[in-house]
Structure 1
């Protein structure tokens, strides 16, 4: 049995459940229209990407796999994108298409299902004025956040994923970025 406070909220929660079920019955187009209407002036970060390579953490030897890297010619949201690109590229963790493969290194373009390790930074924006849920119409606090991610690989043939994560977290630009309230960093390990 629930707490008395949960029981007292029964009517309110039942109304929210009814609204949720009505939302679930909408078509995909109707849901997208409502989403766009609520998003208002918020602008998603559309990062330009170019072909590049990262060295795998999990394969034996100097194996470089293709990926999409952040372009250096980005103009919108350039500060956030430059921070992510610089952090991911530090210590030769990313490589442009024309890089010189070290002796004994192999470019492996045909590997299926590979997903490189990823660094993501989320920059907390200002609080959004229209903060009601488009589903239940309940108010909650919401921010105009911007998130940018970049793949990264091993900087040396012996570097582990955990060592790379520790090094990236320790960069002064990342530490400065994380000092702002609400800013976050996330890492995703590679999938072979």
Structure 2
């Protein structure tokens, strides 16, 4: 009869293999996000009702991002590294919240330790890695599921898009195409016109 520890060894190896593969995949995702200096892409955003809007995404690490929607949509989202600002020009309203309070912080703050709040989940699309991330201490921030395709791009991956599920079960999906890495991006890309009425001057 084999010693007990030898009998358990194959089972232990089998259990450890998926964990090692997940760690390797998560490390690859982290390397990809840290390897992005700049990126531009076209996006299509679809809400829970199936309504879609398109636009262009501009990203410069660390933390600067711009979502510019299609012509006729009076919305703009800009991140300056510390906060995300949403400007609704139709009602002259500006909303601002810390990057850390948004699921998008996974994408625009690559310095964070992903192993503390993200995990690799099974993917139904061949040649992709899917990562689910959420802040266990703040479930109200929602959950983001991000898809990366293996291939050309930093770390051998390319960001394909993500789905955000908020605390009210509202779902929004973003799909990217025409990704370009390492392009020159001006500081002007992260500036915006304030639509709010100007106060009295001193």
Fold similarity call, TM over 0.5: no
Q: Relative contact order (C-alpha < 8 Å, sep 6+): which is higher?
A: 1
Larger helix fraction of residues:
1
Bin for the TM-score computed over the shorter chain? under 0.3
In terms of Rg, which structure is larger?
Answer: 1
